[in-house]
Structure 1
């Protein structure tokens, strides 16, 4: 989505509820669980909280993340290093279901 269209939208494009989700809260929790598999190699965890997400590091640092559009920049800032969810090692870990 371009910046102009994004300015008219409310939330991130991935925020829509999946057809098989019971509630928006359940869907956010499911997304956080999937994201945690990609965040684990970076020492980070994500939890659904009050319609948002809380990203936490192993050292206790935390940041409130509005949605998945803000997740990776926040992960890099919190982790102090580049976080590439498309890295071959991360993708292999996701394929194994880790």
Structure 2
């Protein structure tokens, strides 16, 4: 579905919708998404921030890119790092679980 969004010229990504009864403003929801994504993106040396109804993805070297929709974050992350950035990679999940475990212990 994500690949088709641009093909049909959709202005909004399906992740941009707020859940029914959501208490967060659209801007706050984008900041929340960025914070969650940053847990994984940090493993790739990247940081995502919400800015002007968009996202800015920045790498350790100072390279950055403006990302219009949340669904495009991973493709842009791969472009900036030059390697595959898969949040579902078992090694990434293992690193995230280890971080979470370490956070509970100390």
TM-score category by the smaller chain? 0.7 to 0.9
TM-score by length of 1: 0.85
Q: Which residue of structure 2 lines up, in the alignment, with residue 43 of structure 1? A: 45
Which structure ranks higher in relative contact order (CA pairs < 8 Å, sequence separation ≥ 6)?
A: 1
Out of 31-40 and 18-27, give the one that drifted further.
Answer: 18-27
The 3 A distance-change label for structure 1 pair 60 and 8 is closer
TM-score by length of 2: 0.79
Cα RMSD (Å): 2.3
Q: How many residues align?
A: 98
| Structure 2: 5+ residue stretches without partners | none
Q: Kindly indicate whether residue 16 of structure 2 is the aligned counterpart of residue 15 of structure 1.
A: yes
Larger Rg: 2
